[in-house]
Chain A
Amino acid sequence: MRRVFLAITGLAASTTALVVFKGSPAATQVAQNLPTAQPVNPTPQEVEPSADPNAPGTDPADGEPTPSKSADSPVSPKPGKTTARPSTTKTTKAPSAPRTTKAPQPTTRRVTGNGFDNEYGYVQVQIVVSGNRIVEAVALSLPSGGESDIHSGDVRDRYDGSGGEVVQKQNANLNTVSGATETSNSYKQSLRSAIEQAI
């Protein structure tokens, strides 16, 4: 609805400007730029770091929103959710982890462990206890800085390996896993203190 309104406003504004300032290129440009300054996305787009900022809502004369061109551009860590969805930002939002806070069972309680500092930062764990069972363990705080805000450019042209595809999840039987070193001790300590409190 907002888009249609803006499109009509934009069309009216530019038509008026054309009639009034006919032949003046500077004036025309100003009039056409007017609507583009206005649209403010109701939903924050930062959820999708890769969303093409030019795709939705910037061209008032074009009534149809152009499909996102992000198929070939950097895509968010959650694969397969962003391609070719027109600008309805609600559907492109990354699915968030299920939460149990809204409707807790009568017998469910949350117990927060003590926080522990280690050399990388602060770690704190919360467990959810339903009856006698731990049904969930949540890290309330983990060392920060791991989340990336840096976007590297396309490197395909100077690389002779294969790839460049979006990182996928594999389903397979594994004997072991190679990964970055974990901060196991702080997590264990905090988890243990949460369990001790829950007993």
Chain B
Amino acid sequence: MRATLTRPGLCRVEQIMGTAITVDLADDLPPATLRELADEVFAWMHEVDARFSTYQPASEVCRFDRGEVLLSEASADLRYVLETCADLWGATDGFFDAYATGRLDPSGFVKGWAAQVASDRLVAAGAVNHCVNAGGDVRVRGRSPSGEPWRIGIRHPWDAMAACLVLTGTDLAVATSGVYERGRHVLDPRRGAPAGGLRSVTVVGTDLGVADAYATAALAMGTPGLGWLARLDDHTHAAITDNARQYHSVDLPLTG
């Protein structure tokens, strides 16, 4: 507790995109600078939400989906997201599908990507020790306020208050997709039905948008997703099946 009272930096939480977004800045910078950095992160998150929310009919993504905005007229961010989603569709054998629900919904990529961009901007601004957590998708860099590498728990799929694995590192993108919070909201795009077999998939890499999309894709694959995860280059993973079995890469950055 003493460490948390005297810790350097700043930690702030805001509710954006229908979920909690946490920015933990661990650098010992002047308070005004820290506040400014956090303000910039949350302003960016609001901007992404306004542009990409599928629940706001006036968002650019909804207007594009209705044909009111042409691709040539779209913002650079929307074009980048659409292009990357197409690449990810190919990279995941079609299991990451921004059109899985029948209408455009790139949320499986956008949340992680937004946090990744926020983290990249923090590094560029000199805040090299930080953690950005966007609704469970985590990007950590450098060290935590205690001076140790960041410690990231993977939520236990049957106990919201517990972690089932603990990762540690100084440069990690950790994205988790699971069916325990919002039900079976991830569709198998080939069958148009909810995916089954896996309860939670965590993908660890260096790009949070890609990790987020891979986790969503593996969840949509169901149990065969385990084999697909095992063949991924440059990414490690952990998955928990519906029958409470836990699988993970041998080189997953676990603590201890």
Contacts and interface: CB of A to CB of B under 8 A. Distances in A.
Contacts of A170: 153, 162-166
Contact of B182 (A143, A163, A172): A143
Interface in B7-47: 15, 18-20, 22, 24
Nearest to B165: A170
A61 B212 CA distance: 55
A152 to B, nearest CB: 4
Contact of A167 (B24, B179, B197, B246): B246
Contact of A161 (B200, B242, B248): B248
B140 to A, nearest CB: 7
A91 interface: no
Interface in A124-163: 143-146, 148, 150-153, 155, 158-163
A184 B179 contact: no
Contacts of A46: none
Chain B interface residue bracket vs A: 35 or more
Interface in A165-189: 165-170, 172-185, 188
Nearest to A75: B244
Given A155-B226, A160-B230, A170-B165, A176 B243 contact: no
A84 B176 CA distance: 34
A168 B151 contact: no
Contacts of A161: 226, 229-230, 237, 247-250
A145 B194 CA distance: 10
A187 to B, nearest CB: 11
Given A146-B180, A161-B247, A167-B156, 4 more contacts: A158-B226, A159-B230, A161-B250, A170-B153
26 contacts: A75-B244, A145-B194, A155-B223, A155-B227, A161-B229, A161-B250, A163-B247, A164-B247, A168-B164, A169-B163, A170-B162, A172-B151, A172-B163, A172-B255, A175-B131, A175-B144, A175-B150, A176-B138, A178-B154, A179-B160, A180-B136, A180-B155, A181-B18, A181-B136, A181-B181, A183-B182
Interface of B: 15, 18-20, 22, 24, 55, 111, 131, 133, 135-138, 140, 144, 150-160, 162-167, 174-185, 194, 196-200, 202, 222-223, 226-227, 229-230, 237-238, 240-250, 255
Interface of A: 49-50, 74-79, 118-121, 143-146, 148, 150-153, 155, 158-170, 172-185, 188
